[in-house]
Chains A and B, each alone.
Chain A
Amino acid sequence: GEDVEQSLFLSVREGDSSVINCTYTDSSSTYLYWYKQEPGAGLQLLTYIFSNMDMKQDQRLTVLLNKKDKHLSLRIADTQTGDSAIYFCAEEDNQGGKLIFGQGTELSVKP
């Protein structure tokens, strides 16, 4: 079945770049998503990438997609303490309406 895997923790220094990685299994996914969750809050859509793209840049965020290896990454440039949160990657199930999430990567940014 479909599965999405992420590493659980990442710690960086303020001002450094953060790279959060994700692998997925469903090659039919049209879009792949990155969401951010702060403590006690819902999920905030950060960005998404269409499956026929290799890269998408959106201000400090860069998404790289390697379809052959089913690998997705999110790079955050100039990471700030306000970026500390849990980051989820997600793919859409081929039946539609259902997102399959990774376990989430907890990003800790140290001043």
Chain B
Amino acid sequence: KAGVTQTPRYLIKTRGQQVTLSCSPISGHRSVSWYQQTPGQGLQFLFEYFSETQRNKGNFPGRFSGRQFSNSRSEMNVSTLELGDSALYLCASSLDQGETQYFGPGTRLLVL
């Protein structure tokens, strides 16, 4: 079974721009969670989607948003990028809440 895939793997943007990251879960997994990883803050939860509905949200500003499609693929969007948004963005999929989460390779975003 293919693992979690994320595109693109690397991205360079400038302040003020917006960015969209994509995540394709493991086949059959309906829950997708997103995390931000930075050296200073570590791994922080952004949000979780199941059946196209956001069920849980972390403590991030409204510039961070996401959505999930009917095939369980998910996207996250960051608008009005700031330097501090530079991070590794990780997506994880699971069958449902409470089930083991499997992570993708991440998208490394650099904001200049």
* B75 interfacial by beta-carbon distance below 8 Å: no
Inter-chain contacts of B90 with A (CB < 8 A): 42-43
Binding site for A on B (CB under 8 A): 4, 6, 31, 33, 35, 42-43, 45, 48, 50, 55-56, 58, 90, 92, 94, 97-98, 100-106
State which size class the interface on A falls in.
Answer: 20 to 34
Complex Cα distance, B92 from A4, in Å, reads 19
CB-based contact A41/B98 at 8 Å: no
| Contact flag A44-B42 (CB < 8 Å), given A96-B55, A97-B31, A99-B33 | no
Inter-chain contacts of A101 with B (CB < 8 A): 42-43
CB-based contact B106/A42 at 8 Å: yes
Chain B binder among A13-21, A27-35, A56-64, A70-78: A27-35
25 A–B contacts, CB within 8 A, in A order: A33-B101, A41-B105, A42-B6, A42-B90, A42-B105, A42-B106, A43-B92, A43-B103, A44-B103, A45-B100, A45-B102, A45-B103, A48-B100, A97-B48, A97-B56, A97-B94, A98-B48, A98-B58, A99-B35, A99-B92, A99-B101, A100-B45, A102-B42, A104-B42, A104-B43
